[in-house]
Amino acid sequence: MSKKLKIGLFGFGVVGQGLHDIIRGQNLNLEVVKIAIKNPEKKRSLDAHLFTTSHDEILDNPEINTIVELIDDADAAFNIVKKALSNGKNVVSANKKMIAIHLEELVHLQEKHGTSLLYEGAVCGSIPIIRNLEEYYDNELLHGISGIFNGSSNYILSKIFNEGLAYGTALKQAQDLGFAETDPILDVGGYDAKYKLTIATAHAYGLFINPDNILNVGIQNISDDDIQYAKEKNIKIKLVPTARKISTKQIISYVLPKFVKPDDFLYNVENEYNGVTVQAAFADKQFFFGKGAGGHPTGAAVLSDIAALRYDYQYEYKKYRQQNGLINTDKVSIEVYLRYVHEYTLDKLEVENISERFSRNDYKYVIGSITLKNLIKHRNLLVNKDVFIAQTGRLTFGQQDIAPIIENETFLAN
């Protein structure tokens, strides 16, 4: 029999309201006791007595046994979650930045206080990828995980490629629909996707990576020339986070725009939808698809976690506890399309194996290989407005750079 959850909810924005809408339509053994908000003057759809501006009124309430954290501020979210777990309360969160930055500490807090933190809603909206990595793939050898993790960027790119909208127009539409923030750099700059990749990598490989050590380059510099090039090649550009095992002890992780061919699962993932590809040794390639943005899709993932807490569900972090010795490396070369203005860009990035080059007064690009190490070293160069980079999908690595590679782990992306 499930236990009754008495919930303290932090945040009543798009996701918080979406969650409340879903809860009202369900016959679940739970009750929202109090909701913490920032602005008490804002008109609400619920009775005023449900709301408070005091965090401690919720966190110190012994009646409340479950905290649901749905606010934007990562620092404030961490303080809420840390105190809740320490006070013996289980927590559900959708704050991907907070979780990505503090995940290892949060795991230790759960162990110390016998509490549970669930966060399915923090990664890819309605797609249950964390639970699948935890349960279905718990004993699998995963070659890689990649996909479209950010609905806002995907919406913008879909409008550009399918409807011919200008970048600025597509961005404004995404903002008007609530998919992108007023300052959209978190989404279009690849930061949101990086935080989600950090969390997914922890469950896929048991490796907690500092997000600052993961390269993220976004789509904000995409131009009409880049779009025209892709269309002439019959490909689309998607923002694709990637984590891939390249040897028995090493993985690589990064977020870059990518050329996606028509035979790729991601090619037809459009608008605010997300898609996740998992490549495994035994299960082969599998694909997950669902809405990645919006109050109801994310609220549904949050509710799934809440429902699991009624039966004392916890992430076991099996691969992390195995202490498998994996490390995140930058010793791999990535073949890229690189649009640039100044020739020193090629020199600084040390572009090699150039297979295609084009130059005219207003448009220059090359197809060539750049080491992940150099991309990380010169990440500030990659966000200049006159530079756009996209991975073609091909990786190369030398035997001198990595440990002996198991035969079935040696592969190149298609």
CA distance 334 to 397: 9
- What is the distance of C-alpha 283 from the center of its chain? 23
Tell me the H-state helices in 2-142: 14-24, 55-59, 74-86, 96-113, 129-134
Active site residue 3: no
- Judge whether 54 and 288 are in contact, CB under 8 Å: no
Give the DSSP per-residue string, 90-114. EEEE--HHHHHHHHHHHHHHHHHHT
Q: From the DSSP assignment, how many helices (H) and strands (E) are in the chain?
A: 15, 17
* 154, 171, 187, 275 from 174: Cα distances, Å: 10, 5, 11, 18
Tokens 């797609």 label which residue? 127
Q: H/E element holding 380?
A: helix 379-382
Query: Hey, CA dihedral for 129, 135, 136, 141, is it positive or negative?
Result: positive
Contacts of 204 (CB under 8 A, 6+ apart): 133, 137, 142, 145, 243, 278, 319
Marked catalytic residue, from 34, 83, 89, 196: 196
| Tokens matching residue 282 | 């035994």
- Beta carbons within 10 angstroms of residue 355's beta carbon: 10
Q: Which residues are catalytic?
A: 196
